[in-house]
Amino acid sequence: MQLTISKTDQLKNKPDQSRLDFGTLFTDHMFNMDYNTEKGWHSPRIEPYVPISMDPSTMVLHYGQAVFEGLKAYRTDSGNIQLFRPGDNFRRLNRSCEKLCIPPFDEDLALEALKQLLTIEKDWVPGAAGTSLYIRPTIIAMDPFLGVRASFTYRFFIILSPVGAYYAEGFNPVKIWVTRDHVRAVRGGVGEAKTPGNYAASLYAGEEAHRHGFTQVLWLDGVEQKYIEEVGAMNIFFLIDNELVTPELNGSILPGITRESVVALAKHWNIKVSERKISIDDVMQAHDSGTLQEVFGSGTAAVISPVGQLKYGDRTITIGDNRVGPIAKKLYKAIMDIQYGKTADPLGWIEPVC
Ligand SMILES: Cc1ncc(COP(=O)(O)O)c(C=O)c1O
């Protein structure tokens, strides 16, 4: 399949790099590709960034048959642009497609198209510390039809957005609310897919947490409401008695690429790592016995997000004196240094772009 490129002659003004926030500005071009049952995936193309026009009956608007990804392009000190494990994002996107009955796409073609798009948009990749160009590949169901079934037509698009440093106000621990009333995903559902419904389902509890002065929700499993799953839109880690524990992938947890990187790096450093079931009671007991050393989330946006306080029912526990622990700090620096090309890439995660 031939990728076609048509460029705009009306370039937008680039933003002030010291005032970037998240997801508000978009670059000049986007990638598009369509699917229908006769041609399969076809017409991959880079075009000017424009709104998508759709019929009000378009299926994605009604039944949420859609999947997406989130990754970043980084500018190194020498001005090169690079990606962190992009092949894993496209593999996960295809796994999400399978869950949502969306036909699979060619991952090599998608990565090649992304690299070409980034090459065209390289001046949009900011260079200030901690900034990056956020990449949002998305696939949506396009049939104009109100019946409930999988769509016969789809649009795959990739848009790019320059984003500021996540920790503009410092790398500080956050307060987490363990919800007992709401669940994000259930056994047999679509929790392991990156699909909009999971995020819609998380809003109510998130707003409740904010109302009570907490930053994020800690999700328990949807069956027994006992085992820990995720924190906000991140995976979660506990350092207990020098063992790094993260919930095992069980179908309702998103298999985070940062999670996998944390596990791999910790093993590389000879830290004992376990992917297993861990209950909220285990965490409370570890705290009471003095063995709960660190808690942190992991995800593309923040890389590592240390947790300083956990509220569960009537109890609020403080972790590590509400300070960032040494393992969280070391992982944060190690992953950021690899992403920004400040250090060697011991596990082969970097994909150079231009
Ligand atoms: C629900 C959820 N869990 C975990 C993650 C972390 O995944 P990753 O490390 O691939 O960004 C994300 C973010 O993408 C997410 O949305």
Residue 169: its pLDDT value, please?
72
Write down the pLDDT at residue 162: 98
233 Cα: distance to centroid of ligand 1 (angstroms): 5
> Does residue 259 line the site of ligand 1, with CB under 6 A?
yes
The DSSP annotation for 115-167 comes to: HHHHHHTGGGS--STT-EEEEEEEEEE--B--SSS--S-EEEEEEEEEE--TT
pLDDT value of position 197: 97
- pLDDT band at residue 245 under the 50/70/90 scheme: very high
Cβ neighbours for 30, distance < 8 A, ≥ 6 positions apart? 46, 47, 48, 49, 50, 117, 157, 158, 159, 160
Take residue 46 and report the two structure tokens written for it.
Answer: 């880079």
**So what's the pLDDT on residue 170?**
78
**What is the tens place of the pLDDT at every residue in 32-52?**
999 999 999 999 999 999 999
Residues facing residue 297 across a β-bridge:
236, 305
**Residue 206, pLDDT above cutoff 90:** yes
Q: Report the nearest-CA residue for atom 4 of ligand 1.
A: 234
Q: Which atom of ligand 1 is nearest to the CA of 260?
A: 9
* Average of per-residue pLDDT values in the chain: 97
Could you read off the pLDDT of 150-163 as tens digits, one per residue? 999 999 999 999 99
Say if ligand 1 is within 6 A of residue 28 CB.
no
Q: Check residue 1 and give its pLDDT.
A: 84
State which ligand 1 atom lies nearest to the alpha carbon of 301: 11
Look at the block and give the residue holding tokens 């000049």: 28
Q: Which residues contact 169 (CB under 8 A, 6 or more apart)?
A: none
194 closest CA partner among 209, 204, 180, 184: 184
Looking from the CA of residue 257, the nearest atom of ligand 1 is 10
